[in-house]
Amino acid sequence: MSEAQPQPPSPPSKKRRRTRSLEEVRSLVDEWKQSGLTATAWCIQRGFLRSALSSWRYRLDAQPSGQSVPFLEVRRVTPQPIITGLRLEIGDQCCVTGLELDQVIRLIQALRGGQS
């Protein structure tokens, strides 16, 4: 009769990670936040790995919030040319050159007697 061959020891079994739904993750993270405990203390109390809580928080942060983001319309505006060095001629008698636009406006207002 042949003797039974000894079997090599089987490798240690790995626990399968449980995939939690987004609702379950949200509920657990909310529970931790409301507990007032540190993340480490809550995980020890509940029997979770600290890395699991971190993973859940990351997973929730990656989800769209469902809040709409306001849309801001942006238009390209063509800049107005800068007007410099104006020449003001009043008839044949008066000529003023090298004025800026705001100076011309003030001069015209002064000539009108301060009226806009």
Give the residue, 69 or 32, on which the prediction is more confident.
32
Query: Residue 84 pLDDT more than 70?
Result: no
Q: Are 78 and 72 in contact (CB under 8 A)?
A: no
Q: How far from 5 is each of 2, 8, 10, 68, CA to CA, in Å?
A: 9, 9, 15, 68
The pLDDT value given to residue 114: 62
The token pair that represents 78 in the structure block: 């063509």
Instruction: Please tell me the chain's helix, strand, coil percentages from 3-state DSSP, rounded to the nearest 5.
Output: 40, 10, 50
For the stretch 24-59, pLDDT in tens is: 989 999 999 999 999 999 999 999 999 999 998 888
Element (DSSP H or E) covering residue 63: none
Coil vs helix vs strand at 33? helix
Q: Is 87 helix (H, G, I), strand (E, B) or coil?
A: strand
pLDDT of res. 40: 93
Neighbours of 111 (CB within 10 A): 12
